[in-house]
Amino acid sequence: MMEKTEIKKEMETLKKELLATKKNTYATLGADELEASYDYAKGYMSFLDAGKTERECVYSAQKMLEKEGFKPYTFGMKVSAGEKYYYNNRAKSFVAFVVGSESLENGVYFTASHIDSPRVDLKQHPLYENEGIGYLKTHYYGGIKKYQWTAIPLALHGAVTKKNGETIDVVIGEDENDPIFYISDLLPHLAGDQMKKSLGDGISGEQLNLIAGSRPFGDLAEKDAVKLNVMKLLNEKYGIIEEDFLSAELSAVPAFKSRDVGLDRSLIASYGHDDRVCAYPSLTALIEMEAPKHTVMAVLADKEEIGSEGNTGMQSQVYFDIIADLAKALGASDIVVRANSKCLSSDVNAAFDPNFPEPMERNNCCYINNGVVITKYTGARGKSGSNDASAEFCGYVRRVLDEAGVIWQTGELGKVDAGGGGTVAKYIASKNVDVIDLGVPVLSMHSPYEVVSKTDVYMTHKAIKAFFEA
Ligand code: MN
Ligand code: MN
C-alpha cells in the first residue's frame, strides 16, 4: 500500500508529465517579454489608426517596408537570395517577400491575413434628402450587428475616380476638427415596437443611412437644397460631382482611435483588429528576416469578409502567380514549390467572453492572455467549409512554436452547432499547400470597437517569426 503522501506526490508528477495545462502569458512570460509586448502594441496601434480600409493598410504596409529596403516587384523580374520585394495589387491587397538562400523548391513559407474589415459602404447613388436632412445611403460590408453602428461617430474613407481618370483619396472624420457622420437610432421612449423585435431586426439595412448635413444651399429651405449644399461642399473639398459616386469606393468606419483598455493597459480596443492584428505581426516578422533560409512571404488579402472574392481576394490567382513567377525566375518548378510550401492562415478567433459563456465550449475555445491561438479547423455544422489541417502539420507548427518559446493555445470557434465561420485557409490548401489557422483571440469581434490583448498580439509576432525562421 502506498502512503497517502506518496500517492499525492506521484499524482503531481503524473499530472505534470501527462496532462495539458493552460498557460497564461502573465504567469509564463518574463518581465522583459511583457515589456516588449506593451512596446510592440504602440506600433500596432499606430498601424490601426493609419489604416481603416484595405487601401490605407496597403499604403501603410508599403511605407513600412520601403523604409526597410523592400523594392517593388514586377512580373518577370530577375531575383536573387536576400532580396526583398513587395507587390501592390491594385492598392487593395499586398504581397511582400524576402528571397531565401535555399532552393525555392524547398517551399515558400508564407502567412495570409486580411486587411478588410466589416463596415458600411456607400451605395452607387448615395446622396438624398429627406425632410431637410441630407443622407448617404449605404450597403453594409461583411458580417455586422446593424444596431451596433447607430449613434456612434463615423468617418468616411475611400477613393473616388473622376471621369477624367484621376483617383483621389477621401478621409473625413479622423481629424479632431473634422465633422463626422452619424446613423440615428430611435429614442427609447418611442421604441416600444422596435424593442419587441429581435436584435437582428431592430435596425434594418435600409435604415443605415448616414447623416451628411442639414443646412440648405443659400439658406433657402427648398427641396433638395440640403442635398445640393452637401454636394457643393464635397465638390469644394474634392472636386467631385454626384455622378462620381458611381466610380467610388467610400466606406463609413468608426471614427474612434485605438485605445488602451483597463487600468493596467493590458488590452487594446480598436476598429478593425480582425484582421489587421495578424497582418501587422506578419509585416513586423518579415522585416526581421535578414537573409532567411526559405523564401518567406506575407500576403495581405482583401475581401475576406465577403468570401475572399474578386481579384484582390484570396481566391485571386495573383498570389500563386507571384509564386509561379518566382519559380520561373529561379529555375524551379512551381508545382514542386507549392507542394513543399507552408502557410499560416493568420486570422483571429473568438476569445471566451465571461459575459457571454453560452456559445463557447470551455475546453476548446481560446482565451484572452493565453497566447497566440492555433485553429485546426473552422467551419460550421460538422466542419463544413473548413480546411482542417492535418495531424502532421499541426505537429510541425506546435514543435516550431514550443522551440521558440511562444505561448500558444488552441481554439475552436464556439460550440458545435452554435454557428461558425471560415478563413482564407481553404483557398490556400486547394493549391496543394500545407496550411493552418493561427492568430489572435478577439472580444466583440466584428463590432465597431473590438478588443485584443497586448501579450497575445506580441506572441503572434513571435509565432510568425519562428515559423519564418524554422
Ligand atoms: Mn478575419
Ligand atoms: Mn472577420
Q: Under CATH, which architecture does the 119-254 domain have?
A: Roll (2.30)
Task: Check whether 31 has a pLDDT greater than 90.
Answer: yes
Ligand 1 centroid to 94 CA: how many Å?
A: 16
Whole-number pLDDT of residue 1: 64
Whole-number pLDDT of residue 392: 97
Task: Check whether 2 has a pLDDT greater than 80.
Answer: no
Ligand 2 centroid to 345 CA: how many Å?
A: 13
The ligand that comes nearest to the alpha carbon of residue 276 is: 1
> Mean pLDDT over all residues of the chain?
97
Ligand 1 centroid to 102 CA: how many Å?
A: 32
pLDDT, tens digit, 9 for 90 and up, residues 359-368: 999 999 999 9
The residue-averaged pLDDT of 40-58 equals 98
Label residue 168 by pLDDT band (50, 70, 90): very high
Ligand 2 centroid to 201 CA: how many Å?
A: 21
Whole-number pLDDT of residue 220: 75
Q: Under CATH, which architecture does the 21-117+271-469 domain have?
A: 3-Layer(aba) Sandwich (3.40)
Place of cell 483557398: 427
Ligand 2 centroid to 265 CA: how many Å?
A: 25
Whole-number pLDDT of residue 251: 98
Ligand 1 centroid to 114 CA: how many Å?
A: 7
Which residues hold their Cβ within 5 A of ligand 2, which is an ion? 274
Whole-number pLDDT of residue 311: 98
The ligand that comes nearest to the alpha carbon of residue 450 is: 2
Cell numbers for 312, please give them: 484582390
The ligand that comes nearest to the alpha carbon of residue 439 is: 1
Please give the full DSSP string across 436-450, using - where no structure is assigned.
Answer: EEEE-EEBSTTSSSE
Close Cβ partners of 379 (under 8 Å, ≥ 6 residues apart): 385, 386, 388, 420, 421, 422
Ligand 2 centroid to 363 CA: how many Å?
A: 23
pLDDT, tens digit, 9 for 90 and up, residues 395-428: 999 999 999 999 999 999 999 999 888 999 999 9
Label residue 22 by pLDDT band (50, 70, 90): confident
Close Cβ partners of 370 (under 8 Å, ≥ 6 residues apart): 22, 23, 24, 25, 407, 409, 441, 456
% the chain with pLDDT above 70: 100
Q: Quick check: 351 and 366 in contact, CB under 8 A?
A: yes
The ligand that comes nearest to the alpha carbon of residue 143 is: 2
Q: Quick check: 140 and 208 in contact, CB under 8 A?
A: yes
Whole-number pLDDT of residue 234: 98
% the chain with pLDDT above 90: 95
Q: Rounded CA gap, 268 and 452, in Å?
A: 5
Angle, alpha carbons 190-191-197 (nearest 5°): 155
Ligand 1 centroid to 117 CA: how many Å?
A: 8
pTM higher than 0.95 for the full model?
Answer: yes
The residue-averaged pLDDT of 133-149 equals 98
Q: Where are the domains of the chain?
A: 21-117+271-469, 119-254
Ligand 2 centroid to 306 CA: how many Å?
A: 9
The ligand that comes nearest to the alpha carbon of residue 423 is: 1
Ligand 1 centroid to 337 CA: how many Å?
A: 27
The ligand that comes nearest to the alpha carbon of residue 306 is: 2
Across 295-440, the runs of DSSP E, i.e. the strands, are 295-301, 342-345, 349-350, 372-375, 379-380, 408-410, 420-421, 434-439
Whole-number pLDDT of residue 379: 85
Task: Check whether 301 has a pLDDT greater than 90.
Answer: yes
Report the run of H or E that residue 232 belongs to, with start and end: helix 225-238
Ligand 1 centroid to 346 CA: how many Å?
A: 8
Ligand 1 centroid to 423 CA: how many Å?
A: 6
Label residue 219 by pLDDT band (50, 70, 90): confident
Which residues hold their Cβ within 5 A of ligand 1, which is an ion? 274-275, 347
pLDDT, tens digit, 9 for 90 and up, residues 385-398: 899 999 999 999 99
Q: Quick check: 302 and 116 in contact, CB under 8 A?
A: yes
